[in-house]
Amino acid sequence: MRELTSPTTVREIIKAHGFKVRKALGQNFLMDANIIDKIVRAANLSENDLAFEIGPGLGVLTRRLAQEAGRVLAVEIDQNLLPILNETLADLPNAEVIQADARKVDFDQLAAERTQGQFGPGGKAYKLVANLPYYITTPLLLHLLTSGFNLELLVVMIQKEVADRLQASPGGKDYGSLSVVVQYYTVPEIVCKVPKTVFYPVPDVDSAVIRLTRRPVPPVQLRNEETFFKVVRAAFGQRRKTLINALTGSGLASKETWLSVLNETGLDPARRGETLSLEEFAALANQFWLLREEAW
């Protein structure tokens, strides 16, 4: 197999298959072997692992994953890439491409089907390693983290500003509802920054590789997880407003109810949502849920 990190080879393969790069699908193909090595090392793969990939593109990362993991399942939405992947992965019996929209895939079910139940629900946890399409990064991460999949680790390349948001601390401009959700489920750690010049075609933004290690148990205890996420979204819904005004404006409850909740938790109504820690959001959501339960 020719070196897929060579710009010349990439252009030749694309031209030979008459493939047209679709910007709408976020198709920017990584061509830096050093970055690929960093991604794979961060996943700490072994022959006992099942690794999922989303958006394999031309198969450059897929090939490296297949060298380290026992099995690789690559989910690709663009059926026009399938002939290319059939060529670039032809010599790898442990790599399989599934044509599907990753936002709709039940990864547990797919893992169980392809491994006779060895991985997935009731089986072993698996890993996900990918250069995520930037146009669906947030919904895709939420799908992966909130669906209860038996994922133990995610190593993904995403837009740098999104990576900064995932590991942001309270009080900073990058801290938001996505930060809270990701940090509730995982421990985020930026592995490396990636310049836009290592892609073909060159995207408009720089990237970063981030490792999300799934927490065995959440860092806070919640009375109701759904209520927690509703309260978090409400607090960040209007960032320029005070906490009391943002919560009231969400329509979840009256101003009087929120004042009572804030009073019980000792939180200042004049604070802004982006200053609250995970623990403070948990206290706020738990008290809100308790008050509503008592009212019912």
Q: Which residues are annotated as a binding site for S-adenosyl-L-methionine?
A: 28, 30, 55, 76, 101, 131
Instruction: Calculate ∠ Cα 109-60-126, nearest 5°.
Output: 25
User: Residue 210 and residue 229: Cα distance in Å, rounded?
Assistant: 23
Amino acid (1-letter code) at residue 72: V
Task: Return phi, psi of residue 141, to 5°.
Answer: -60, -40
Quote the tokens at residue 142.
């939420």
- Binding-site positions read 28, 30, 55, 76, 101, 131
Lookup result for tokens 């990584």: 30
User: Residue 50 and residue 61: Cα distance in Å, rounded?
Assistant: 15
Nearest to 160 by CA among 205, 200, 212: 205
Q: What is the helix, strand, coil percentage profile of the chain, to 5? A: 45, 20, 35
DSSP letter string over 266-290? T--TTS-GGG--HHHHHHHHHHHHH
Lookup result for tokens 């720089």: 206
**Bridge partners, 207 (sequence order):** 159, 194
User: Residue 296 and residue 285: Cα distance in Å, rounded?
Assistant: 17
**Cα dihedral sign for 275, 280, 286, 290?**
negative
Is the bond leading into 121 cis (omega within 30 degrees of zero)?
Answer: no
Number of H helices, E strands in the chain: 12, 9
SS3 for 105?
coil
